[in-house]
Structure 1
Amino acid sequence: MRWRDRFVFCAEATYKSQAETGEIKGHYLNATAGTCEEMIKRAVFARELGVPIVMHDYLTGGFTANTTLAHYCRDNGLLLHIHRAMHAVIDRQKNHGMHFRVLAKALRMSGGDHIHSGIQ
């Protein structure tokens, strides 16, 4: 379970950096997984570590998974960052697809608190 080790490493590094600098630091732990159940396990573990934000890759996870994770996050005091991995497959094609602003609105409606939109 490499993700558990990565979550612990990132949380410890974040807390250490905060202690050394006195500044607020953050890292988005990626809860994206092959099933919704596994994704929720990751979000639960992130919450146990005291991390305030988890991340979801919406194209690899899907909109239903996004909404499932959003409900968990909302009910448990976590923020949900939506990452746009593989977005160019949809929003940068000349002959098909949709503008990223449309995707961003759909992702907000499905429960994302923060969206990585990049430069359009």
Structure 2
Amino acid sequence: MLLNFLTPYINDAVRDYYRRLLVEPPLVYPYFVNVVDSMRINEFRGFNLSITLDVTPVVGPHISVGEDRLTFQISVGPEVKLVNYIHLKSYELPPHWQNIVKNMLTGNKS
């Protein structure tokens, strides 16, 4: 349930990161998310939570483009805030998907 709730926030963060690298934004499905850490920020009486996730964004038919670690703070409301984004690893796309990779020197690949 938590991952279904966080999926739009995860995809927004991933889309923002990969915007400069890919023409087509990748998606993260809940089954490509691993919970690394979860804790209450204000100890046992608080309702401010911190959750750290490892995610694998994909394009097309579930082709992995990388691995990323995201940390969110969740508070009553609910209010969700991305507090940390670390890109852990990049994967090279297969030749037939190279057309979505942006050329960093001249803008988009033509």
Q: TM-score range by the shorter chain?
A: under 0.3
TM-score by length of 1: 0.22
TM-score by length of 2: 0.24
Greater share of strand: 2
Flag the structure with higher helix content: 1
